[in-house]
Amino acid sequence: MARHNERKLSIIYDKRQKDFVVKYPRRCDGALALHSIINEQLVFDLDKWINRRLNDIPPVKPYCFKDELAQRGYDLSTLKFSIELKPPETDKN
């Protein structure tokens, strides 16, 4: 198995585990990336806002990036995402 790059944040779909695998340099970054892809987020809904009534519910709807990709015909089992940290700046003093 290849060694994990400790400066890279990556998400892949592991077909053997049938789930997403996240590798991260910092745990909070892994949580942010995974949350952004698989969790529902509330987004502004223009249709609800246009058709709103006084004291109506807020004009928001749930949005999930993963579900949106699936609805558009993408195969989520091929998902691969990676990004690397910038190199540390050297002290020039």
Tell me the pLDDT tens digit for each residue of 11-60. Answer: 999 999 999 999 999 989 999 998 888 898 888 888 888 877 766 778 88
Residue-wise burial string across 35-55, b where 16 or more C-beta atoms lie within 10 A, e elsewhere: eebeeeeeeebeeeeeeeeee
H or E segment to which residue 68 belongs: helix 65-71
pLDDT band at 91 (very low <50, low <70, confident <90, very high): low
The yes-or-no verdict on residue 90 having pLDDT over 80 is: no
H or E segment to which residue 63 belongs: strand 60-63
Residue 79 vs residue 3, higher pLDDT: 79
Residue 49 to residue 42: CA distance in whole angstroms? 14
63 Cβ contact partners less than 8 Å away, ≥ 6 residues apart: 40, 41, 42, 43
Of 79, 81, 84, nearest in space to 6 by CA: 84
Residue 3 vs residue 38, higher pLDDT: 38
**Could you tell me the pTM of the whole model?**
0.67
What is the structure's pLDDT at 55? Answer: 66
